[in-house]
């Protein structure tokens, strides 16, 4: 006869599963998959500071792939991962195993099992994981900083959170860990307000309230306003507004704009009041920060206020700032503009307002090198993406990547040299070959795209087609290459 605890044990981490993941990762990189190559730049010391292209060019081994899997699983190395799995096998009823089962109950929203585990092992409510990050169960509610496989938030996460607090987890509500450099940026609240998973589950604001009610430091454990800065920096205005309702300080212009405080923004802009906008900094991406100021404020501070107001859908504030003369194309944080942010969030009214005021939809930010269409697509804002294709200027790379054949043809008919975009480097054709898009390849070649152009790693479109074993595109490119070389 089995029980819930027995069932939980069946899907504890096992070595065969991890070995399989490592082999799959190795195959992906050898197939020139940039997104999987990027995992090595984040998780392997040999590739730190390098690009995914460097990883593909230099090549990786199975041992290195295993190291990446171990790091993503919360361990320093593959041997440490093996040691942990062995511990679970040797001590199936021990505290580490109970904590592991509680993690699974938490992310699955299994309140009955979690209640049973907390009753049998009350220490796990405040216990730290034995993984490298040393997180507590509240970090698993945040689904941030912990191992990738456990970054899941169930729809009943508030119920699970109440269970943990009832069991004593409030004692560790401000616990610091080894995630993100440790210190004040590693607490459960900061992890929560910078996490996509509770946002996607629709429970972000409620969880913020529960954490704060349990005693989480709403202005950060160093009283520096870090939770608010992080919530806005990571594009979670609902979490930011929840922090404000829990008493978080609003002491600078960009924050006031981001959480919709129209009267306060108006006061910051009023030169006769000389209201101080305190020094502020918003992570993701890193930037130099905004200095303490009074009206008239520096252009960067004003532009960031516009960015946050549009990101959060506070159109009245955005209009106020634009009427005040704030530059519509400014992007003080790595070139990320108000249009980029509004498109990512699906704030169509804000995006329309910005375009009416001269926003350039083809500008690319310095972090992701994406246009407004790229940001809208990245945010899964399908209707806004389509609207931009039909009603704004379009970069041909966006049309190629998103398979808008009619738009690509229109652009090529107007300027055939775009077949070798970007800037004559041939990236469009290489991308098409990698994705196996035969129709797009035919279209680009119809307008004389050069199949012999190579990227910085020396790879041509034909190389990518061969890696994906797309015979149709291989034939197309072979013929086009022979024709080009014969000219």
* Each residue's pLDDT tens digit, 292-312: 999 999 999 999 999 999 999
C-alpha 357/C-alpha 315 separation (Å) is 13
> What 3-state DSSP class applies to 187?
coil
Q: Are residues 408 and 381 in the same domain?
A: no
What's the pLDDT band for 6 if we cut at 50, 70, 90? very low
pLDDT digits (tens, 9 = 90+) for 334-351: 999 999 999 999 999 999
pLDDT at 7 over 80: no
Residues 287 and 333 placed together within one structural domain of the fold: yes
**Residue 454 φ then ψ, to 5°:** -120, 155
Residues 6+ apart with CB under 8 A from 471: none
Same domain, 483 and 382: no
User: pLDDT tens, 383-401?
Assistant: 999 999 999 999 999 999 9
DSSP string of 446-484, one letter each residue: HTT--TT-B-TTS-BHHHHHHHHT-HHHHHHHHHHHHHH
pLDDT higher than threshold 80 for residue 3: no
Do 8 and 58 have their domain in common? yes
Q: Which tens digits make up the pLDDT trace of 123-166?
A: 999 999 999 999 999 999 999 999 989 999 999 999 999 999 99
Shared-domain flag, residues 158 and 118: yes
Examine the domain organization and report whether 129 and 239 are in the same domain: yes
Does 147 share its domain with 212? yes
Tokens of 457: 């790693």
Query: What's residue 209's pLDDT?
Result: 99
pLDDT band, residue 5 (cuts 50/70/90): very low
- Of 72, 14, 84, the C-alpha closest to 40 is 72
pLDDT digits (tens, 9 = 90+) for 176-228: 999 998 999 999 999 999 999 999 999 999 999 999 999 999 999 999 999 99
Model confidence over 275-294: pLDDT tens digits?
A: 999 999 999 888 889 999 99
| Tens-digit pLDDT profile for residues 348-395 | 999 999 999 999 999 999 999 999 999 999 999 999 999 999 999 999
* Residue 137 sits in the same domain as residue 72: no
Cα dihedral 452, 51, 36, 425 in deg (nearest 10): -20
φ and ψ at residue 277, rounded to 5 degrees: -95, 110
Residue 272, Cβ density class (10 Å: 0-12 exposed, 13-18 middle, ≥19 buried): exposed
Q: How far apart are CA 216 and CA 245, in angstroms?
A: 14
Residue 408: C-alpha distances to residues 110, 284, 378, 392, 473 (Å): 49, 33, 20, 14, 18
Q: Is the peptide bond before 314 cis (omega within 30 degrees of 0)?
A: no
Place of tokens 């070995």: 19
For residues 476 and 356, membership in a common domain is answered with no
Query: The tokens of 132 are what?
Result: 């490298």
Long-range CB pairs of 52-58 (<8 Å, 24+ gap) are: 53/455, 53/456, 53/457, 55/29, 56/29, 56/32, 56/457, 57/457, 57/458
pLDDT at 360: 99
Averaged pLDDT, 402-411: 98
How many residues appear in the chain? 487
Of 114 and 4, the structure prediction assigns the larger pLDDT to 114
Q: How many domains are there within the chain?
A: 4
User: What pLDDT is attached to residue 2?
Assistant: 31
- Overall average pLDDT of the 465-476 stretch: 89
Task: Count Cβ atoms below 10 Å from residue 369 Cβ, excluding itself.
Answer: 11
| Whole-number pLDDT of residue 13 | 87
Residues 378 and 458 occupy one common structural domain: no
CB atoms within 10 A of CB 162: 16
Do both 23 and 118 map to the same domain?
Answer: no
Residue where one domain finishes, among candidates 332, 363, 393: 393
CA atoms within 13 A on the CB side of 253: 33
Residue-wise over 59-81: b if at least 16 C-beta within 10 A, else e? Answer: ebeeebbbbbbbbbbbbeebebb
Residue 486: pLDDT band by 50, 70, 90 thresholds? confident
Of 393, 417, 448, which one is at a domain's C-terminal end?
393
Q: Would you state the torsion angle of the CA atoms of residues 306, 308, 311, 317, taken in this order, to the nearest 10 degrees? A: -50
Q: What global pTM score does this model have?
A: 0.90
pLDDT at 470 over 90: no
pLDDT of residue 4: 40
pLDDT of residue 286: 81
Residues 413 and 470 occupy one common structural domain: yes
Domain limits at 9?
A: 1-92
Would you tell me how many other CB atoms lie within 10 Å of the CB of residue 273? 12
Domain at 285, CATH number: 1.25.40.20
pLDDT in tens, 80-131: 999 999 999 999 999 999 999 999 999 999 999 999 999 999 999 999 999 9
Q: How far apart are CA 189 and CA 180, in angstroms?
A: 13
């Amino acid at each position: 006869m089995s029980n819930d605890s027995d069932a939980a044990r069946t899907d504890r981490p096992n070595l065969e599963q991890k070995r399989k993941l490592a082999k799959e990762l190795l195959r992906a990189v050898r197939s020139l998959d940039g997104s999987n190559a990027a995992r090595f730049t984040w998780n392997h010391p040999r590739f730190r500071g390098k690009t995914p292209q460097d990883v593909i060019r230099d090549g990786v081994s199975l041992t290195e792939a295993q190291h990446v899997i171990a790091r993503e699983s919360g361990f320093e190395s593959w041997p440490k991962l093996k040691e942990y799995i062995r511990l679970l096998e040797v001590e199936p009823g021990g505290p580490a195993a109970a904590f592991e089962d509680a993690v699974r109950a938490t992310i699955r929203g299994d309140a009955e099992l979690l209640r049973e585990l907390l009753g049998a092992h009350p220490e796990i409510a405040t216990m730290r994981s034995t993984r490298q990050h040393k997180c507590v169960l509240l970090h698993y509610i945040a689904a941030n900083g912990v191992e990738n496989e456990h970054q899941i938030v169930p729809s009943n996460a508030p119920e699970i959170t109440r269970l943990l607090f009832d069991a004593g987890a409030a004692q560790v509500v401000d616990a610091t860990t080894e995630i993100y450099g440790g210190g004040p940026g590693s607490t459960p609240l900061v992890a929560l307000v910078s996490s996509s998973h509770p946002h996607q589950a629709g429970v972000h604001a409620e969880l913020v309230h529960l954490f704060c009610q349990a005693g989480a430091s709403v202005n950060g454990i160093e009283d520096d306003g870090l939770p608010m800065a992080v919530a806005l920096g990571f594009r979670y205005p609902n979490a930011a507004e929840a922090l404000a309702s829990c008493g978080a300080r609003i002491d600078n212009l960009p924050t006031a704009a981001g959480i919709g405080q129209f009267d306060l923004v108006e006061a910051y802009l009023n030169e006769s009041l000389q209201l101080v906008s305190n020094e502020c900094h918003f992570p993701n991406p890193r930037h130099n920060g905004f200095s303490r100021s009074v009206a008239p404020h520096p252009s960067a501070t004003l532009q960031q206020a516009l960015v946050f107001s549009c990101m959060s859908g506070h159109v009245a504030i955005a209009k106020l700032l634009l009427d005040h003369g704030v530059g519509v194309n400014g992007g003080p944080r790595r070139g990320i503009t108000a249009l980029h942010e509004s498109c990512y969030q699906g704030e169509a009214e804000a995006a329309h307002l910005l375009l009416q005021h001269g926003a350039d939809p083809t500008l690319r930010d310095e972090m992701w090198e994406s246009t407004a269409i790229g940001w809208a697509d990245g945010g899964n804002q399908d209707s806004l993406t389509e609207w931009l294709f039909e009603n704004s200027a379009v970069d041909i790379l966006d049309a190629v990547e998103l398979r808008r054949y009619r738009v690509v043809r229109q652009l090529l008919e107007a300027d055939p040299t775009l077949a070798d975009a970007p800037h004559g480097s041939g990236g469009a054709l290489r991308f098409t070959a990698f994705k196996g898009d035969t129709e797009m390849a035919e279209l680009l070649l119809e307008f004389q795209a050069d199949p012999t152009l190579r990227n910085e790693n020396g790879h041509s479109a034909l190389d990518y087609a061969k890696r994906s074993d797309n015979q149709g595109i291989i034939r197309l490119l072979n013929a086009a290459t022979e024709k080009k070389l014969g000219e």
